[in-house]
């Protein structure tokens, strides 16, 4: 549960888990995630006033080339700060369930715009609605400047309908392919005409750009606007099933059990898209803990980074190195590959990513230097390099709080130490043979053994799974 509904255990509370039932643990996760989250706000004053949304509003010609370049650079820097700020929330926040659900929705409502205000606003919308009502979340995301800009609805007007936004809302955000026609897309696009945002980054419905003619959408006819289209989409059971299946695939198993998804989707629909009830149904069911579901999911790069840092508390001298880790591993927050988001699963693994994944724990605990030279011109590079000017490998400087980690095992006898460490670190069905690790771990002291065993176990293929 802690790896699926959260980002893994923290060293300070590991020992409390032994006497906690699944139901009690989920109740804690629910309670700690019930409060409205504080908004993340890292944007500088550079974008205040007229600068917000200028590019999308066609007014960038008023700025010089140098001003445009400076604005983009500042926005990239601020998005980098937003990335690290949210990553820190995932690591340290008590609202683990909320942040985990937010990461899921961040991939579901994938959006890539280089505008810090838009990205920041969209993230806060997702975090505030992550465990609420899916209809509310959908409506707020659909009206966010980030999504309207990314999917070109700012240019959707009655004389020249733009179908991009309407298509993606149905295909990727709600019903999935095969549940609508090209005619439905065209009619929905007409209904969305006029939806946009102003220079302050606020949603606006521009009536002079809206097509007021009659539209026929999914079998219904009327003078629909964008809100009407969303209402009709939510009336479709296909929407409940599509969202449920995607949640099942992300939180339970990529190999979907159609019967269970049908059951969950039916309840989800009857409960008016109540996300909290759906997640509770999943995490408290007996089948969630079936052997076929345990240790079968490949951790995303962000989950991997956050999980390591939760179990091994540390302070990083250069926390921006985590941006480089994300890029090398294939998941940079706020930079999805496309509107479909990150595909996940086995797509996280290739030869270079797997090698770096298995070295991550050693790198962040100062046990190993790293040598990486990404492309300098990539937006997601964000100015980070893994080598110095002389081409020598860098070693990440961190201060690791091993005291709190070692304390976890105070009551564990020496002969049972490996098994206890193994049970905490790995989520797979099979444990690592202690004889295999003997040549790698430090046996000179109890503390050295604990430290080295944790790092070595985190360096195994098994640690990539949860």
- Looking at the structure, do residues 79 and 132 belong to the same domain, yes or no? yes
- Looking at the structure, do residues 132 and 248 belong to the same domain, yes or no? no
pLDDT on residue 48: 52
pLDDT above 50 (res 386): no
Q: What gap in Å lies between CA 256 and CA 285, rounded to an integer?
A: 16
Q: What gap in Å lies between CA 96 and CA 274, rounded to an integer?
A: 19
pLDDT above 60 (res 314): yes
Between strands 398-400 and 220-222, the pairing is unpaired
Please write down the long-range contacts of 418-425, taking CB distance under 8 Å and 24 or more positions apart: 418/453, 421/450, 421/453, 421/454, 421/457, 422/453, 422/457, 424/9, 424/14, 424/311, 425/311, 425/454, 425/457, 425/458, 425/463
pLDDT on residue 376: 47
Q: What gap in Å lies between CA 56 and CA 48, rounded to an integer?
A: 15
Over residues 249-262, the mean pLDDT reads: 98
Q: What gap in Å lies between CA 449 and CA 269, rounded to an integer?
A: 52
Range of the domain at 191: 11-234
Nearest to 309 by CA among 361, 386, 370, 355: 361
188 located within any domain? yes
- Looking at the structure, do residues 157 and 181 belong to the same domain, yes or no? yes
- Looking at the structure, do residues 111 and 168 belong to the same domain, yes or no? yes
102 located within any domain? yes
pLDDT above 50 (res 134): yes
Q: Which of 54-68, 171-185, 352-366 has the highest mean pLDDT?
A: 171-185
pLDDT on residue 377: 42
Over residues 265-289, the mean pLDDT reads: 98
Final residue belonging to a domain, choices 234, 256, 282: 234
Helix (H, G, I), strand (E, B) or coil at 261: helix
135 located within any domain? yes
Nearest to 432 by CA among 396, 462, 391: 462
Helix (H, G, I), strand (E, B) or coil at 236: coil
- Looking at the structure, do residues 18 and 133 belong to the same domain, yes or no? yes
pLDDT on residue 50: 41
What are the strands, taking DSSP E only, across 317-419?
Answer: 398-400
- Looking at the structure, do residues 405 and 422 belong to the same domain, yes or no? yes
Q: What gap in Å lies between CA 187 and CA 197, rounded to an integer?
A: 22
Lowest average pLDDT, out of 122-131, 235-244, 341-350, 424-433, goes to 424-433
Lowest average pLDDT, out of 220-229, 360-369, 406-415, goes to 360-369
pLDDT above 50 (res 325): yes
385 located within any domain? no
Residues 6+ apart with CB under 8 A from 392: none
pLDDT on residue 366: 84
- Looking at the structure, do residues 241 and 220 belong to the same domain, yes or no? no
Q: Which of 47-56, 92-101, 194-203, 414-423 has the highest mean pLDDT?
A: 92-101
pLDDT on residue 74: 84
pLDDT band at 71 (very low <50, low <70, confident <90, very high): confident
Considering only residues 388 and 95, tell me which one the structure prediction assigns the higher pLDDT.
95
- Looking at the structure, do residues 426 and 445 belong to the same domain, yes or no? yes
- Looking at the structure, do residues 263 and 194 belong to the same domain, yes or no? no
What angle (nearest 5°) sits at the alpha carbon of residue 301, between those of residues 11 and 274?
Answer: 80
- Looking at the structure, do residues 204 and 279 belong to the same domain, yes or no? no
Structure tokens that stand for 432 in this block = 């690592």
Q: DSSP states of 52-74 as a string?
A: TTTTTTT-GGGS-HHHHHHHHHH
pLDDT on residue 437: 85
4 located within any domain? no
Lowest average pLDDT, out of 16-25, 39-48, 159-168, goes to 39-48
Helix (H, G, I), strand (E, B) or coil at 196: strand
What angle (nearest 5°) sits at the alpha carbon of residue 98, between those of residues 343 and 276?
Answer: 95
Over residues 330-337, the mean pLDDT reads: 98
Q: What gap in Å lies between CA 157 and CA 196, rounded to an integer?
A: 10
pLDDT on residue 109: 98
- Looking at the structure, do residues 159 and 244 belong to the same domain, yes or no? no
Mean pLDDT of the chain: 91
447 located within any domain? yes
Residue found under tokens 């504080």: 38
Over residues 182-187, the mean pLDDT reads: 98
Domain count along the chain:
3
115 located within any domain? yes
- The reported pTM is 0.94
pLDDT above 80 (res 440): yes
Nearest to 370 by CA among 339, 398, 406: 398
Final residue belonging to a domain, choices 210, 234, 258: 234
Q: How far is CA 411 from its chain centroid? A: 36
Final residue belonging to a domain, choices 218, 234, 250: 234
- Looking at the structure, do residues 262 and 278 belong to the same domain, yes or no? yes
What are the strands, taking DSSP E only, across 158-214?
Answer: 195-197, 203-205
């Amino acid at each position: 549960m802690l790896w699926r509904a959260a980002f893994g255990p923290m060293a300070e509370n590991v020992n409390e888990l032994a006497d906690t039932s699944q139901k009690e643990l989920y109740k804690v996760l629910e309670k700690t995630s019930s409060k409205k989250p504080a908004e993340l706000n890292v944007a500088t004053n550079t974008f205040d006033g007229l600068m917000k949304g200028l590019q999308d509003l066609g007014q960038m010609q008023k700025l010089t080339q140098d001003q445009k370049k400076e604005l983009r650079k500042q926005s990239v820097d601020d998005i980098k700060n937003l990335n690290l700020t949210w990553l820190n929330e995932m690591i340290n926040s008590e609202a683990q369930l909320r942040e985990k659900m937010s990461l899921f929705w961040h991939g579901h409502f994938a959006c890539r715009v280089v505008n810090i205000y838009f990205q920041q606003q969209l993230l806060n919308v997702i975090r505030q609605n992550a465990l609420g009502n899916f209809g509310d979340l959908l409506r707020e995301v659909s009206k966010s400047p980030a999504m309207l800009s990314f999917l070109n609805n700012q240019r959707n007007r009655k004389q020249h309908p733009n179908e991009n936004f309407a298509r993606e809302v149905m295909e990727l955000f709600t019903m999935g392919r095969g549940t609508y026609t090209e005619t439905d897309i065209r009619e929905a696009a007409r209904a969305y005409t006029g939806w946009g945002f102003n220079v302050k980054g606020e949603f606006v419905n521009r009536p002079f750009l809206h097509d007021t003619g009659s539209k026929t959408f999914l079998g219904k006819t009327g003078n629909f606007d964008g809100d009407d289209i969303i209402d009709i989409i939510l009336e479709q059971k296909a929407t409940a099933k599509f969202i449920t299946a995607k949640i099942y695939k992300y939180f339970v198993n990529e190999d979907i059990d159609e019967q269970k998804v049908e059951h969950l989707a039916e309840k989800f629909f009857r409960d008016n898209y109540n996300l909290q009830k759906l997640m509770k149904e999943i995490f408290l069911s007996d089948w969630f803990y079936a052997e076929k579901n345990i240790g079968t999911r490949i951790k995303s790069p962000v989950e991997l980074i956050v999980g390591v840092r939760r179990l091994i508390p540390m302070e990083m001298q250069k926390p921006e190195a985590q941006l480089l880790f994300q890029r090398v591993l294939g998941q940079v927050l706020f930079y999805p590959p496309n509107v479909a988001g990150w595909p996940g699963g086995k797509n996280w693994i290739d030869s270079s990513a797997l090698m770096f994944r298995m070295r991550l724990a050693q790198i962040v605990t100062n046990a190993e230097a790293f040598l990486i030279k990404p492309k300098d011109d990539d937006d997601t590079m964000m100015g980070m390099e893994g080598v110095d000017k002389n081409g020598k490998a860098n070693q990440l400087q961190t201060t690791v709080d091993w005291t709190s980690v070692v304390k976890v095992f105070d009551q564990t006898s020496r002969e049972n130490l490996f098994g206890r460490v193994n049970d905490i670190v790995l989520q797979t069905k099979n444990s690592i043979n202690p004889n295999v690790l003997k040549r790698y771990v430090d046996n000179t002291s109890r503390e050295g053994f604990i430290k080295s065993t944790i790092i070595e176990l985190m360096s195994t293929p098994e640690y990539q799974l949860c």
